[in-house]
Structure 1
Amino acid sequence: MPLSRRAALAMAGTAAAGLAIPLAAPLATPWLLRRARAAEAAKPPPRVLRISHHYPASSGDQGDFRDRLVRRFATDVTARTDGALTFEVYPAATLVKAAAQFSGLRRGALDLTLCPLANGAAELPETAIGSVPCLVMTEAQATAWRDAPAGQQLESLLRGHGVRILTWVWLPRAVAARAGAVAVPSDMAGLSVRSGSVPVADMVKAAGAKPEALPVEAISQAMRKGRLDAAIVSATSALSYRLAEQAPHVTTAAGGGACGYTLQPLMISELVFDALRPAEKAAVIAAGAALDADALRAARADADALPGAFSAADGSVSDLDAARLVHWTKLAAETGWRAYAKSGRRCADLLRLAAEVPA
């Protein structure tokens, strides 16, 4: 039946107002579906990046916070990139051994890692700055490093050699010993002591001890076999590897501990980073920086938990007062600092800037 003039005018008015005519609406649905499918098909497949570290795997909110931090980073970046970047995490050196992680980053053979910066000292001596004893002694100093001239110079140096820091992870160190507390450097005389880096080894040797270059995961076994008397480690590692079972005497990590803080950052290969899209680069940088404060809080929590863990193992706990600490800082400046500065002009410049970071 022909439309009346009134009905035709009503329909024309509806169209002019931008309103859909009910009879035409179903016709748009297949087109929209096809367009959505085409857009989905045009999206590139997610890129999978691998993160390696040599610390124990965590479970939920329990376990080594370094593994938990890496997994939080991965989840955050995946969300920020709408799934364009995904990650596989390999704890406990299941992908790359600790000694090869820094080298792998530089060559682009490894995507990301969280490890002691000083692991790169054999290739890049300047990286030993991350473990120079008694250089970073407070949380305020650790927090200031990223934006301080020392941190800026270190980042520039690393990027020039293929590595980029994403999260600055600073950990206070403790000294765990088998036979008795190492409260001052002279207590190390005659002992075999795991140092963890060349600058710390220089200090240990000057104290009359024998420095041992052992990976942190080998400490317990070496102590069990009687080949190691004491170990200088982060508070986090002392807990994760349950060192109280083999070395029940601890000098606490409060206030940075006997040797101060050590730097174990989350890093990405510059070759891998350069291959990311601009939005992905922004997501990676933002997610990494957002974890700085969380890492420091987690490290502090481990330092606070250390005395209780060793007391529960029927061990002894020694706190560092100002009188004891001065022995460590004096020996560190005379040994580890001096040796690091002699490693090259860039090392000397970096140490000078590091010493200027306010406490």
Structure 2
Amino acid sequence: MTRSALEALTVVDFSRVLAGPYATMLLGDLGARVIKIERPRVGDETRAWTPPVDATGTSTYFASVNRNKEAFPADLADEGDRERVRELLRTADVVIENFRAGTMERLGFGYDEVRALNPRIVYCSITGFGTAEGAALPGFDLLVQAVGGLMSITGQTPDQPTKTGVAVVDVITGLHAITGILAAVVAREATGEGQRVEVNLLSSLLSGLVNQAGAYVGAGVVPGILGNAHPSIAPYEVFETADRPLAVAVGNDRQFAAFATALGVAGLATDERFATNAARVAHRTELKRIVTERLMQRSADEWFDVLNEHSVPAGPINTIAEAFELATRLGLEPIVEVEGSRQVANPITLSATPVSYRLAPPRLDPPTPSN
């Protein structure tokens, strides 16, 4: 029987909505036993975020981040249910929660209380803005995209700041939570003691802004909205073609020479305005005009083939359906079926301890799991 990487871990999951559930689903895919604590008859808010629903009648939002979990209905205001939860915690390895700061303490399940039950526990808290002055602020992805600077660099024009098409801050934060949890689990092997892991949406976003944040921190440059263009690379943006937009991601001078050749204007690579990346950035408007004139002569799919032949990173702006079709053509097997529920596959491949898909997203009131 194939082993799973995290099959020895039991995770008690108090989280709801996206950041925490995404983290615990990935832990479950890697083999951990994940027990999802939900209020009876109410459950995770995303159970009611419909339409759409999948073939099992489950909210696709909820289903997208809740496979490989066991449901554990528990009213944390009821002492009998609290004692049932305490029994779980005495033998668990990991706790994850994303209530507003102070809520778990009020319910009797704060870090100090849980650590007293189980000194080996790794206790992960996800908040919007930390546990100091920002403790009372609500943590919603759109809000953090706004106040955290992401919207100030996203959109077509400076007067139209735009959110991303998915709650990317929650996703980034969930991945940071997993990193912290697994680091603490490794440390426990050496010390025998668990610890508290804290991540928050704002800090995770600032880290995830990478070069844009680095421009401010390292050079005092405040980035702005450039539409689909890149502040430091050209041509690295979206261009019109004869039928639909095409993304071109030229990252160095060699690729630009190949790009110019593919366009039939090889001389651009030696033109002093475009011979280096710095020159291309300085003359991006003129470069875009020349490139667009050439690209308008063929369709996006035709250019996709031509540019791939020249090893130039480029591709059409696909719909999500087309993106899945592409992944399937490339042999990536992007969709799995779990007990009648079609799911997006886990993107991690492990040669010896592969991910597994054991449980469909849980119904709200199934039998309570045993310890």
Shorter-chain TM range is: under 0.3
TM-score by length of 2: 0.23
TM-score by length of 1: 0.23
Larger radius of gyration: 1
Q: Hey, which of these two has a bigger chunk of helix by percent? A: 1
